[in-house]
């Protein structure tokens, strides 16, 4: 993986939609753009709630992504 790419870990049922528990995508500058790109690539994500973490911090607003940042997509779980 180069600085021009981002590694995204994918949790829970989101992995079934994305087709794996981790993906590598070309670099993107903000979490807002990332979300748009993911929804374009995986339209089924539209029906799934998730949050984006950048370097282990959950981002609720549009956040900047630094080159080499580690990203994660986390859905809520309901099971008990």
Residues near other proteins, by CB under 8 A: 11-13, 47-49, 51, 53, 56-58, 60-61, 72, 74-80
Task: State whether residue 80 is helix, strand or coil.
Answer: coil
> CB-wise, 40 or 61, nearer to other proteins?
61
- In the DSSP assignment, the letter for residue 51 is E
Tokens of 80: 């008990």
Tokens of 75: 């859905």
> CB-wise, 32 or 75, nearer to other proteins?
75
Shortest Cβ 26–other proteins spacing (Å): 24
Q: 70 and 56 in contact (C-beta within 8 Å)?
A: yes
| Of the candidates 65, 77, 61, the residue with the CA atom closest to the CA atom of residue 8 | 65
Shortest Cβ 51–other proteins spacing (Å): 6
> CB-wise, 2 or 60, nearer to other proteins?
60
Shortest Cβ 39–other proteins spacing (Å): 15
């Amino acid at each position: 993986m180069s600085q021009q790419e981002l590694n995204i870990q994918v949790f829970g049922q989101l992995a079934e939609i994305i087709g794996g528990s981790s993906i590598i995508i070309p670099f993107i500058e903000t979490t807002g753009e990332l979300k748009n790109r993911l929804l374009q690539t995986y339209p089924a994500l539209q029906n799934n709630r998730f949050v984006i973490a950048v370097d282990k911090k959950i981002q609720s607003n549009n956040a900047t992504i630094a080159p080499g940042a580690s990203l994660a997509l986390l859905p809520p779980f309901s099971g008990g």
